[in-house]
Amino acid sequence: MMKNDQSNHEPNPALMAFRLSVMILQIFVGLIAFFYTSSWILFAIWLAVIVALHTVARKNICGRCEGYGKKCYSFYFGWYTSKLYPYQEGKPVTFGPAILEGVSIAGTNILPFVPLFLHFDAKGVPLLLAAYSVLFLITWLAQFHHAC
């Protein structure tokens, strides 16, 4: 699969609106999963992973990317990062932040599955699991189709 060339054009706004809407809905269903199953420790871990993604990973990846300050394919994080962190010109993206980003993206998406599987026999949980699974699949397929 070819990567999108960010230097030639900005992401499709309609597709980005769709991706952002699905991601927000996925986060909402994930929150419901944690609260419905009373999985407070997993919820705290999930929040910590989200904070790591939006601080350390954004600063050390997006702050060094050519998409910095732009509405990039990665959920507009280049624009978002430019509002919080200075550009780190000449610094390459290193292995550590790249691994942290991969783990934190995976964690934010996979952790809501855990309480749903642990409490699968509870009323309403299979429906939550189905909804979260569909949103998870759409988010990941769209990410690989329309991302940097």
d(CA 72, CA 20): 13
Is the CB of residue 101 less than 8 Å from the CB of residue 57? yes
For position 9, what pLDDT does the model report?
65
pTM: 0.81
Report H helices in 37-112: 40-52, 58-61, 77-84, 95-110
Which of 62, 45, 51, 38 shows the shortest CA–CA distance to 115?
Answer: 38
Higher pLDDT, 97 or 49: 49
d(CA 62, CA 22): 22
d(CA 148, CA 9): 12
Is the CB of residue 5 less than 8 Å from the CB of residue 67? no
d(CA 56, CA 72): 18
Is the CB of residue 55 less than 8 Å from the CB of residue 77? no
For position 77, what pLDDT does the model report?
82
For the stretch 89-131, pLDDT in tens is 888 888 888 888 889 889 999 999 999 999 999 899 999 999 9
Residues 6 or more apart whose Cβ sits within 8 Å of residue 83? none
For position 12, what pLDDT does the model report?
84
